[in-house]
Structure 1
Amino acid sequence: MNSSTPAIRQMMNVYEATAKQVVGVRTVEEQDVSKYGIIESSRQNGLIHEVGGLVEKPSPADAPSRQAVIGRYVLEPSIFSILGNMSTGAGGEYQLTDALHQVALQNQLLALELEGTRYNIDDKAGYLEAVLHMGMQHEDLRPMLDSMIREALAPR
């Protein structure tokens, strides 16, 4: 994430105001919902959703929304006891999404639509995009990156 207010600070502001655990979310394309944990939002207040449940990597037809958890969390230590008492979930793995679902059922989980630019470094193109965009923001790196890009694009 790249934003004027860091993503975790955005989420901490919500946690400090509500005393509820918070996950960061972004709207994803319908064909991408099967790549993420997806929230079921029972109510929304601006960018804040009250989470009624979560589903790990649902098919687009079974997804309760297109709001995807994007790997940003403000959680309390109690999440570890929930994880410690779980059995394996999707893919035969222990899923944080399943533990968060338990927190949501206790009405203790909010989702915040994070402000800023999200780079998906889960694939090579997203990683490269993040490196280039972040590098170009640094005055000392910009000339070197510019030169590297021009050289890479030059006919050979």
Structure 2
Amino acid sequence: MKKQIRKAVIPAAGFGTRFLPFTKAVPKELVPLVDKPVIQYVVEEAVAAGIDQILIVTSSGKNAIQDHFNRTGDLERRLEETGKTALLEELRAISSLADIHYIYQQELNGLGDAVLCAKSFVGDDPFAVLLGDTVLDSSTDVTVTGQLAAAYAEVESPVTALEPVPMERISRYGVMDGEQAGEALYKVRGWIEKPAPEEAPSNLAIASRYVFTPDIFAALARTPRGKGNEIQLTDAMRLLLAERAMYGLRIAGKRYDLGSKLGFLTGTVEFGLRRPEFREAFAAFLKEIARGL
């Protein structure tokens, strides 16, 4: 019997050095995209895909993430007293999105180690991994995590989200080497970390979302430290690939890396222009600024 993806792991323990000095006191996952923190978009994406159990991997100094998803009695009472019922209901909905658990990554030993922290939570179930500082905006009615879950139901093997990137930027990413197995599905031959453009086997880069089977944990446990003296998830994926089939899915959607300053600026503009309450005024402001450049 095929297992539905009901669990997700969100690694959110990193320092966020690309966004210093802001992230000295505030977790990078709480950087706002207009008026909602990035990690809330990530949780909502998982929930929309049918996931109801989420583990957020955090670290020291990141209690604000848990605070965001908890009820806040004093604030709620204040909103109720002042008649701000719509905002009150919006805040209450945050705390009931899913059954959210937390675990500390005791030492920041890389993304692979963060995923390994989830072993007890996952058990024998397939699960999704969603990076906590990246928003993926689907171009269909199905979220990117939902797209991966549907692909997993078809192949019953690990599936990694892929996005096409310009070859001049390919050296920034982990890249898939594989052969097409469907309209947007690829059977993986290998994973190449940050190749030079002339060495890249494709233009399809890993896009911050994964569905794994629990055997990834055995691979992670025997993965030696790699780049940065950290346990790299991509290295473990190479080990797992030697033992079983793995797939990549070219996603229908767009990735926003909100952990980078440029990604934050471009994402804020695009999401801001979608808001009907200030779209017209914001667009006029941007045009005025552009004329002065």
* TM-score where L is the length of structure 2: 0.47
**Which residues in structure 2 correspond to 1:100-115 (within 5 Å)?**
100-115=237-252
Deviations, residues 86-112 of structure 1 (Å, cap 9, x unaligned): 101233321111111122223421100
Deviations, residues 39-77 of structure 1 (Å, cap 9, x unaligned): 110343210000011011122233222211011111122
**Which residues in structure 2 correspond to 1:7-156 (within 5 Å)?**
7-142=144-279, 145-146=282-283, 149=286
> Of 112, 124, 137, which aligns to 1:2?
137
What secondary structure, in the 3-state scheme, does the structure 2 residue paired with 1:46 have? coil
**Aligned-pair CA distance for 1:29:** 1.7
* TM-score where L is the length of structure 1: 0.83
- How many residue pairs get aligned? The number is 155
Q: Structure 1: give runs of 5+ residues left out of the alignment.
A: none
Q: Structure 2: give runs of 5+ residues left out of the alignment.
A: 1-135
CA distance change for structure 1 residues 64 and 92 in 2, over 3 Å: closer, same or farther? farther
Q: Give the structure with higher Rg (CA).
A: 2
**Aligned-pair CA distance for 1:150:** 6.9
Give the stretch that moved more between structures: 139-148 or 16-25.
139-148
**In structure 1, what is the Cα distance between the partners aligned to 2:215 and 2:282?**
45
**In structure 2, what is the Cα distance between the partners aligned to 1:66 and 1:150?**
33
Q: Which amino acid aligns with 1:56?
A: E
Q: Which amino acid aligns with 2:137?
A: N
The residue number in structure 1 matching 2:93 is: none
CA RMSD in angstroms comes to 2.4
Ranked by relative contact order (alpha carbons within 8 Å, sequence separation 6 or more), the top structure is 1
